[in-house]
Amino acid sequence: MGILKASGLGLLAALAAGVLSGCATTPAKEPPVKFNHDPYPSTYRAYPGVPTLLKGATVLDGQGGRIDGGDVLIADGRVQAVGRGLSAPAGAMVVDAAGKYVTPGVIDIHSHLGDYPSPAVAAHDDGNEATAPARPEVWAEHSVWPQDPGFSRALANGGVTTLEILPGSANLFGGRSVVLKNVPARTVQGMKFPGAPYGLKMACGENPKRVYGSKGQMPSTRMGNIAVTRQTWLNAQAYKRKWDNYEAKGGDMPERDLAMDTLRGVLAGKILVQNHCYRADEMAIMIDLSHEMGYKIAAFHHAVEAYKIADLLRENGICAAMWADWYGFKMEAYDAIRENIALVDRAGACAIVHSDDPNGIQRLYQEAGKAIAAGRRVGIPISEEHAWTWLSANPAKALDIFDKTGSLTPGKMADVVLWNGNPFSTYTRPERVWIDGALMYDANNPRLRPVSDFELGQPGEGDVK
């Protein structure tokens, strides 16, 4: 459907251009042709749910609130009410959640599910278009394999309801990201989070210089990284000027350039920059670069050294997406510390726990638990209700979907997890997960566990994984 719509518009544009060019005698400029900015639109529709009242839980609302002995009412796909002593509407399913926790679904801002799916064979190696250092024209969604078995593990073991799929970090400009609801579908469009803006994956540091340096081309150094990045933005600015002028005044339509379309979207504030960057000094350079070129960085991902510049991140309103204990796997991860998340948070900057990993995404809540413990050990008091902001509100803000999900606020999508204990503990698992009010996972019901096409007919099919 998306393709039909796009080509339909193209045809329209051609007709319009043809008609107008027939009137060559009139000096009037041709009116601008609008092109479709959403040619692969979301076809996601919430699955039906029943009104559900979760009663007597420890409710962490995802934006810092906590209610002990609290109730959450969801209906019509939305959070209806959060409080104490709520009464169930007629026909509602009532869940006794005493001794359990209820939270918003986990949002992983950094995943490669679908574009580096399981099994990790070369034929599935779809995360890096490592053929030029700047490839903003590629879109991660065109690589995502919706049958990746990893999605169901993230749901059932991780309580993940929303995730951003990014292209890899071989490139300075890796391409567009896509935000998905963690609901199985036949097509990627069927998973796309309605209304979520696109992201642009950028990378600094070791990866781009290694990938292209080893091919004997630029960039082979960090200074090369920055030079190519700056030059690309200068090209984007020129492209943007041309197109802004055309869209305002009409005339000859400039040539479309998919790469530049993405960067223009960033410069216009419509596409969010998600910047892979580990080291403090390099993050500072990327911040200066963003000021020079006139764009905003939404979040630094893998921000291993964020603790060294937490003040700078706060002042610039940039989130840091971090691991709890990864360290030492590469030179730019050598200075990782366990207190990174807690220190960034304490400085008043926006802290996010992310995975970048098909296993880690199943345990982000435990990673947050480790970060709380590390922080408390050095005297930083962190409440459970505050820590959940790292898993829902903050990633939602960095994805610009916080108006839709990321907290248990009436009117928001009913993306909710019932945990069978304290969700920061190794002893706890999701018991049920609702997405848009539909029960998509229930530990007690083997039928409520998705099995991807790949796993059908294979050993272990449908097992609790």
Residues making contact with another protein (CB under 8 A): 118-121, 149-150, 153, 157, 206, 307-311, 325-331, 333-339, 343, 347, 358-359, 362-363, 366, 369-370, 372-373, 377-378, 420, 424-429, 443-444, 446, 454-455, 458-460, 463-465
**C-beta of 422: minimal distance to another protein in Å?**
9
- Cis before 358 (ω within 30): no
CA 20 to each of CA 13, 34, 251, 253, 254: distance values in angstroms, whole numbers, following the listed order: 11, 15, 11, 12, 16
**C-beta of 374: minimal distance to another protein in Å?**
8
**C-beta of 80: minimal distance to another protein in Å?**
29
**C-beta of 236: minimal distance to another protein in Å?**
31
At position 264, the amino acid (one-letter code) is R
**C-beta of 323: minimal distance to another protein in Å?**
11
Is the CB of 124 or the CB of 404 nearer to another protein?
124
Q: Which two tokens stand for residue 343?
A: 């220190």
**C-beta of 412: minimal distance to another protein in Å?**
29
Is the CB of 234 or the CB of 329 nearer to another protein?
329
Asked if 161 and 108 count as a contact pair (C-beta separation under 8 A), the reply is: no
Is the CB of 211 or the CB of 266 nearer to another protein?
211
| Cα–Cα distance for residue pair 233/16, rounded to 1 Å | 32
| Cα–Cα distance for residue pair 59/40, rounded to 1 Å | 37
**C-beta of 137: minimal distance to another protein in Å?**
29
| Cα–Cα distance for residue pair 411/419, rounded to 1 Å | 22
Cα angle 156, 178, 311; round to 5? 90
- Sign of the CA dihedral 296, 353, 430, 377? negative
**C-beta of 433: minimal distance to another protein in Å?**
14
Q: What is the DSSP letter of 282?
A: H
End-to-end Cα spacing for the chain: 35
**C-beta of 431: minimal distance to another protein in Å?**
9
Is the CB of 58 or the CB of 63 nearer to another protein?
58
Q: Which two tokens stand for residue 86?
A: 């709520």
Asked if 426 and 366 count as a contact pair (C-beta separation under 8 A), the reply is: yes
Is the CB of 82 or the CB of 344 nearer to another protein?
344
- Residues in the chain, how many? 465
Is the CB of 136 or the CB of 150 nearer to another protein?
150
Q: Which two tokens stand for residue 330?
A: 């590469």
- Cis before 219 (ω within 30): yes
Asked if 286 and 297 count as a contact pair (C-beta separation under 8 A), the reply is: yes
Torsion of CA 311, 312, 317, 322, to 10 degrees: -80
Is the CB of 242 or the CB of 449 nearer to another protein?
449
> Going by C-beta distance under 8 Å and a sequence separation of 6 or more, which residues neighbour residue 106?
158, 159, 160, 161, 364, 365, 391, 392, 417
> Going by C-beta distance under 8 Å and a sequence separation of 6 or more, which residues neighbour residue 60?
66, 101, 102, 103, 384, 385, 388, 423
Is the CB of 320 or the CB of 347 nearer to another protein?
347
| Cα–Cα distance for residue pair 414/406, rounded to 1 Å | 10
**C-beta of 320: minimal distance to another protein in Å?**
14
- Sign of the CA dihedral 160, 162, 166, 169? negative
**C-beta of 329: minimal distance to another protein in Å?**
5
| Cα–Cα distance for residue pair 277/304, rounded to 1 Å | 8
Is the CB of 3 or the CB of 464 nearer to another protein?
464
Is the CB of 11 or the CB of 331 nearer to another protein?
331
Is the CB of 78 or the CB of 429 nearer to another protein?
429
